[in-house]
Amino acid sequence: MTENDPNAHNPAAPRHPETGQQPAQGGWAGNPYGEQAQPESGGAPQYSEPSYHAVTGADPAYGGQTANPWSAPGAQLPSGQTQQSVYPPANPYGQPGTSGYPVAAPEPKRSGGKLLAGVALVALLVGGVAGGTVGYFTGGSSGPAGNALDAPKPAQQTGNAPAGSVEAVAQKLSPSVVELQVSGQQGAGEGSGFVISTDGYILTNNHVVEVGANGGQIQAVFQDGKKAAAKVVGRDPTTDIAVVKVNGVGNLTPVELGRSDDLRVGQSVVAIGSPFELAGTVTSGIVSSLHRPVRAGGSSGDQTTVMDAVQTDAAINPGNSGGPLANMAGQVIGINSAIYSPQSASGGQGGGSEGGNVGIGFAIPIDQARRTADTIIKTGQAVQTYIGAEVKDAPQGGAELGTIKPGSPAEKAGLKSGDVVTKIDDRPIDSADTLVAAVRTRAPDEKATFTLADSRTVEVTFGGQPVQPN
């Protein structure tokens, strides 16, 4: 052997830490890092992090000209060109040129007082798995495994629902709530209603039944599956209230009507109806606000229907219209009529919108609905409360009166065109809709004090006029 022979023995050359053999030229054959990849610190080499497509997760280097992220950094092809990405990736832990997933290296020994951090990490991971395995077998040996499927069923629920619970309200009201399926020349739809008498009167919304009012068909579907044809007794588009009647159905259970004049914001309520034809759906929430002026059932450009609504966050969707909103005693305190729907073409409220629940629903106060329904049943016609003046929003706030109808309650009280109403009794009036809603909550012949913007007060006696449904 000569001094330049690569196979010559060199006593000064380092030896393999396990075999004691000296390395061939180029470093240890078993060293995955090689002399060039071995960091001086003794830690793991710094490989490039893989890059993935933001959407697909694919490696953008695949088939491209960028360096293979799984190869040692700076790896060169024999021609000196940058190595292209290949698949499967090169194995940094195996023999040069091999590919596949990395395998654990033999247990490392300390060399020069430094531990290879990359191999130490593998050892820690293996140790963690081994420790978990030992714990698993140790824990399993303490006794037979429990299985929920082998446990006996709990005792069956018995007794009535707790008083004041949503469950109790649902049990009380559900037999009285009906689904109304309506069809006519202008289309078809469905909504809800509730029984108010043992002889078949049902209270609902005008917009639920109006397409079936003139020559159309209305069918009531009860909780027990019974069906019966219904006829419109009377309806009031100005308050969005209607009464229909079924015949030939016995054992009807009427609801208990509550009162809406003493509702409080935050009070718990329950809504029942047939949203999206899902009959008997029960939802719950609270009273979110009171005396909310809402246009529903009429176009967004007029005051055909402005109601003094009870606002709730109980889930209300298309098909809930006409169903009851009840307090926790199971008493009906409102008729679900409209929802706020950002998806509606008008961008506002509308019972006919197909937008879904966003936690803002509106119900007609039962005090107003009770009075209207009673008049309809007794006379076949609704009576609208009015003052006989056109009205619009005042620029400075309040409701500005326009044309005053001769002989109307407004004229008799001395109100003039141009007067701006800012309060009715103790209720502030901030817009035309608020004035209309406030008037319609009152009964004909009832008196109220109007406060004007110039601080004058005027006593008005409300009038009543028959409603002619279109």
Calpha distance 101→107 (Å, rounded)? 18
Catalytic pick among 240, 308, 313, 419: 240
Number of other residues whose CB lies within 10 A of the CB of residue 168: 17
- Is 255 strand, coil or helix? coil
- Is 273 strand, coil or helix? strand
| Contact status, residue 297 vs residue 185, Cβ threshold 8 Å | no
Tokens linked to 45: 């080499």
- Is-catalytic flag, 300? no
- Is-catalytic flag, 240? yes
Whether a cis peptide bond, with omega within 30° of 0, leads into 92 is no
Tokens linked to 352: 């006919």
Tokens linked to 106: 């033999």
> Which phi and psi angles does 86 have, rounded to 5°?
-130, 165
Backbone Cα Rg of the chain: 40
Calpha distance 313→357 (Å, rounded)? 9
The stretches of 306-346 forming alpha helices (DSSP H) are none
Calpha distance 201→234 (Å, rounded)? 11
The stretches of 347-444 forming alpha helices (DSSP H) are 366-379, 409-413, 432-440
The CA dihedral of 6, 8, 11, 13, to the nearest 10 degrees, is 10
The CA dihedral of 465, 467, 242, 362, to the nearest 10 degrees, is -70
Q: How many CA atoms lie within 13 A of 87 on its CB side?
A: 7
Calpha distance 263→312 (Å, rounded)? 12
Q: Could you say which DSSP state residue 212 is in? A: G
Beta strands in 267-366 (DSSP E): 268-273, 281-295, 306-312, 324-326, 331-339, 361-365
Catalytic pick among 288, 321, 337, 341: 321
Catalytic pick among 59, 192, 207, 433: 207
> Which phi and psi angles does 125 have, rounded to 5°?
-65, -45
- Is 191 strand, coil or helix? strand
* Residues assigned a catalytic role: 207, 240, 321
